[in-house]
Structure 1
Amino acid sequence: MELGVGSLRGNSPTRLAMSAGELLAAFEATPLDALTAEAQALTLEGHGAIVTYSRKVFIPLTKLCRDVCHYCTFAQTPAKAAAAYLSRDEVLAIARAGAALGCREALFTLGDRPEARYPAAREALAALGHETTLSYLAEVAALVFDETGLLPHLNPGLMDAADYAALRPHSASMGIMLESASDRLCTKGEAHYGSPDKEPARRLASIAAAGEAGVPFTTGLLIGIGETRLERIEALLAIRDLNERYGHIQEVIIQNFRAKSGTKMADRAEPTLEDHVWTIAAARLILGPDMTIQAPPNLHDRSALGELIRAGVNDWGGVSPLTPDHVNPEAPWPHLEVLADATADAGRALRQRLAIGPRHAQQATRWCDPRIAPAVLRAVDGRGLPKDSDWAVGHGDAVPELAPAPATEAVARILERARDGERLDEAAMARLFTADGDDFDAVCAQADALRAEVVGETVTYAVNRNINYTNICLYRCGFCAFSKGSTKAMRGPAYRLDFAEIGRRAAEAVERGATEVCLQGGIHPDYDGNTYLDIVAAVKAAAPGIHVHAFSPLEVMHGARTLGLSLEDFLTRLKHAGLATLPGTAAEILDPAVREILCPDKVTAHEWLEVMRAAHSVGLRTTATIMFGHVEQYRHWARHLAQVRSLQEETGGFTEFVPLPFVHMEAPIWRKGLARSGPSYREAVLMHAIARIVLHPVLTNIQVSWVKLGPDAAAAVLAAGANDLGGTLMDESITRAAGGVNGQEFGPAEMIALARSAGRPARQRTTLYELVPDNHPAMTE
């Protein structure tokens, strides 16, 4: 029986319905190279070219154990152990040394409840002020996290609901190896005889309890300890079923038994590399493309690592630059450079992960205790992996160099579809956002070529002035550090400009060569629709020729509702008063689930689109924006872009698309530990490049915000599809209030120099993208 893509890959109905015996028959009837080819295709589908590892320290809190597994050299008796438990100082010394070497994880390895077997363990715990091993573990895990920032991963053996509840606040993840689902291995003469904690039913119950407790969990198989291949498949199906019920399995380890001298299984034959490869491939085919499948890289020669990758491995587990593998001390960890080279030889790229796997890190507020979640969210990008550099939006950092990674067929195919004029679906767009290394370069190159074809080489910019007329706001958007909740000072003084001052600033802008004023503010409790009409009137009275670019959809919705007018009627009144275009802010992410977290009382995604549709219907052009890098995922970015494109196809009213990276430093939601630290540099560049590709040909202008990214990163984005630098601003308060270092003014000379640094000419434009004559005042300053 040959495996087929439609029969056994991924979550196909056929595969899900097959019994362990049927799966075994199918796998064994398939040549190994065909089996691994199917597994590798699934792995690439789910994880691309990335293979992860965790840089960690191993903390063997105790080597005492109540079990007597016949292959284990980790567990010791009190007579052989130097001390029953590591002291607090010893634990911290290991953790601090690891942190100094760049580790992010503290893996606590220990025996299972030794106090149930050894009086020496009970006495040692009493001296430490504890009754149980798990109680002491909770204390030292909390100590390590608080003192070093390392994320604890705990492997303390069997646990129940109360145990998970006690340990969850002090760990990012936990784990227990299922090893086998075979009761036969617990009988006399087998590997687990005399080890009641290895009974499969008890271990499966413990894994299920972790799911009920919402704990990101690591489990896996130990192959070669006497089990059959059928029993391996039964164990994998049990793991799959638990994960389908709870979604908590973050990784499955397929570990090969190593015979150790001094144990009862010292003469047991070890599984062959071929057998290990077969089991990894079976695990991938059973568990599907999204599961992380791990194999320890120190239990085979370097030459075998490529075969493990091709069989379905996408993670090497924990690799320590400091401490040995206490479970397999005879097998030292490969140096990270060697591991990276071996991974590259297999056509993949090595990337670091956290103790919590990327799928669960993306939803850290769900899967982690509130003590732990902020540390996870602040460390990762939208993939759930640690950010690729220390670069951050608003910091003014130098542009980082990105690590290499090989190209993938999946991204190449998507780019080819886009070149052929196909409108990309959300899944394809989301896949592009994972682009790394050569894939990243390919996306940027295609976007830049498309930019050159559509709008040419000239970089445009507008000379404008921002007038933020009040920072007092009724709303509580989690990302906003600009608004104040009332007239009382919060995070700086609250203010409200009067109409005379608004007009004065507009007139001054004209004197300084501006063609546009951009007006936005908070939703002041005293404002109604007439206020916005009066603001426009004040600007036009003071500066009759200025282009008025004003009012987010939130302000438009507020104004219409307070006057009891339809959106079209209110927008028509604004237009007659002198409003020329609308900014597309307040879009954030056009997805209800994201907005429920980020800005639950603001305009909905549907309402934002309705305001834009109404504006376009009365002849008002608008911009479109996205604010990204906080609580959302790549699929939300894709959904947002799809909705912008759909409305543009319907109305043609958008003048430009403006990605606005989240500036996190003073944002309330970040300070509460509920958001990521803005997009990574890779993601910030990709947003502009992918927008160019997926919005083509309906929206031709892609703007990069020098205010958010800074000049160096903005110049890099000009080589990734962007053709516009936005406005010179003269004043800008919102980004600086959020902690950004840019934002006051970036004049025409600076705009021209920035474009020149990217090898491009620059010209001033109007709001509607008409070029301004060279003799305009702003061009002759």
Structure 2
Amino acid sequence: MYNLFKEDFLVTGEKADALRQKMWGKKVFYVNNLHINYTDICVSKCRFCAFAKDEGDESAVFMDVDDIIKYVAAKAPNASELHIVGGLHPSKKFSYYTDMVRGLKTAFPEKTIKAFSAVEIDYFASISGLSVSDALSALKKAGLEMMPGGGAEIFEPRVRKEICPEKIPAEKWLEVHETAHKEGILTNATMLYGHIETGEDKMRHLEKIRELQEKTGGFLAFIPLSFHPQNTFLSHIKPATGMDDLMTVAVSRLVLDNVPHIKAYWVMLGEKTAQAALRFGADDLDGTIIKENITHAAGAKSSAGLTEDELKNMITSAGLEPVKRNAFYGTIN
């Protein structure tokens, strides 16, 4: 395995930018979306997480289905995509999640429901006694149309044992996404970097995503996630530098030339680094988001949300063309 992370920074960036231009020209995509973190109550105790709380904690958050519907109506009536992830709640039945999706799709039929990480899907299967395939089928029937890519972290077992020993292994994450693709559910993929991983660990992670994409073609976008250590058990770790961020975006674009889109996730990168990443291989700024809780619990300094005008300005001032999209990268005029 050749380690691209050892290559020259600017040369790698130029190659990634050239590939982005070949694939998308001057187009940079964004979406009017809303992130919904329906609960921070979680049975998993990942060392890198500052979001999770125990059931019974006075500051814990839980939203029932009616709460979520009211939240969407109040916060983002015009959003085209609902991005839904949360903790692994110890006492909610699988019916809560199917009711959530069904309720949202009934209330907002025009909005795409992009919900639940592979970790959540595996948990739903375990609490319901269903297979992953049957759990996904039930959610799809309720209105699930797409899955985000969270929970991948870093696939290297040595690293997972240190930062998230209770989380599903890499093989299970890949299996859930492969199953989703077979069910006709497109997904995203992620990689959490900037903690205790090596360049070789990141390369192996990217290669596994590439291999599954060759097999299924079911990944729409890849999102490199820059780790935020504040308020976590890994708070002693220095966060990734701007050069680390841009190099990871660039290498991701070059390795994953079979995945259509690379996101510069401004929530974790910060707005300025995300804008620079548009010249290092990224072609998507994600979206308005409105309110994101998980990364901000770990000390993110980026805005809670951005307006469409702010996103468009980030793109045009980089000399590129903003394209408003839906969840499946169809253009919205």
TM-score (norm 1): 0.42
List runs of 5+ in structure 2 lacking aligned partners. none
Structure 2 residue 5 is matched with structure 1 residue 433: yes
Amino acid at match of 1:700: P
- The answer as to 2:60 corresponding to 1:494 is yes
The code of the aligned residue for 1:656 comes to: A
Corresponding position of 1:550: 115
More deviation, 599-608/499-508? 499-508
Q: Residues 734-759 of structure 1, C-alpha deviation per residue, up to 9 Å, x if partnerless?
A: 11110111241111100000012211
Aligned residue number for residue 467 of structure 1: 36
2:324 counterpart residue number: 764
For residue 181 of structure 2, the aligned residue among 595, 612, 616 is: 616
Higher RCO (CA 8 Å, separation ≥ 6 residues): 2
Q: Does 1:515 find its partner at 2:80? A: yes
2:328 partner letter: L
Write the distance in 1 (CA, Å) between the matches of 2:231 and 2:9: 30
Partner SS, residue 699 of structure 1: coil
Map of 1:742 onto structure 2: 302
- Mapping for residues 133-148 of structure 1, pairs under 5 Å: none
- Offset at residue 509 of structure 1 (A): 4.9
**Which residue number in structure 2 is paired with residue 728 of structure 1?**
288
Report the residue type matching 1:504 in the other structure.
K
Q: Look up the SS of the partner of 1:679 in the other structure.
A: coil
CA contact (8 A) 2:271 2:302 kept: no
RMSD: 1.2
Once the 2 structures are TM-superposed, how far is the Cα of residue 510 of structure 1 from its aligned partner?
5.1
Alpha-carbon contact 1:479-1:668 (below 8 Å) kept: yes
Write the mapping of 1:685-704 to structure 2, written as runs, cut at 5 A.
685-696=246-257, 698-704=258-264
1:312-368 deviation line (CA, Å, top 9, x unaligned): xxxxxxxxxxxxxxxxxxxxxxxxxxxxxxxxxxxxxxxxxxxxxxxxxxxxxxxxx
1:653 counterpart = 2:214? no
Amino acid at match of 1:455: W
The counterpart of 1:503, out of the listed 56, 62, 69, is 69
Q: Secondary structure in 1 aligned to 2:168?
A: coil
1:753 aligns with 2:313: yes
Can you give the 5+ residue segments of structure 1 that lack an aligned partner in the other structure?
1-425, 774-781
1:130-187 residue CA offsets vs partner (Å, 9 max, x unmatched): xxxxxxxxxxxxxxxxxxxxxxxxxxxxxxxxxxxxxxxxxxxxxxxxxxxxxxxxxx
How many angstroms apart in 2 are the aligned matches of 1:509 and 1:644? 34
CA positional deviation for 1:531: 1.8
Aligned-partner Cα distance in 2 for 1:725–1:567: 31
> Structure 1 residue 541: deviation in Å?
2.5
2:10 and 2:57 map into 1 onto residues whose CA distance is: 49
List aligned pairs for 1:239-638, cutoff 5 A: 426=1, 428=2, 430=3, 432-435=4-7, 439-489=8-58, 493-509=59-75, 511=77, 513-638=78-203
Residues 468 and 503 (structure 1 numbering): CA distance in 2 closer, same or farther, change over 3 Å?
Answer: same
1:670-719 deviation per Cα after TM superposition (whole angstroms, max 9, x unaligned): 2xx4xx322221111011101111111x1120000111111111111110
**Preserved CA contact (<8 Å) 2:33 2:79:** yes
Amino acid at match of 1:742: S
Q: Deviations over 1:354-398 (max 9, x none)?
A: xxxxxxxxxxxxxxxxxxxxxxxxxxxxxxxxxxxxxxxxxxxxx
Larger radius of gyration: 1
User: 1:481·1:666 contact (CA, 8 Å) conserved in 2?
Assistant: yes
Which of these residues, 245, 249, 253, is aligned with residue 684 of structure 1?
245
Distance 1:750 1:479 in 2: 30
Q: Is the 8 A contact 1:433 1:683 kept in 2?
A: no
Q: CA deviation at 1:542?
A: 2.0
- Supply the AA of the counterpart residue of 1:434: K
1:433 aligns to what SS in structure 2?
A: helix
* Cα offset, 1:434, TM superposition: 2.6
Deviation digits for residues 240-276 of structure 1 (CA, Å, limit 9, x no counterpart): xxxxxxxxxxxxxxxxxxxxxxxxxxxxxxxxxxxxx
Counting matched residue pairs gives 333
Indicate how the Cα distance of structure 1 residues 510 and 737 shifts in structure 2: closer, same or farther if over 3 A, else same. Answer: closer
Residues 730 and 746 in structure 1, CA contact (< 8 A), matched pair in contact too: yes
Letter in 1 for 2:93: D
Q: Determine the structure 2 residue equivalent to 1:665.
A: 230
8 A Cα contact 2:34 2:76, kept in partner: no
Q: Is the 8 A contact 2:287 2:311 kept in 1?
A: no
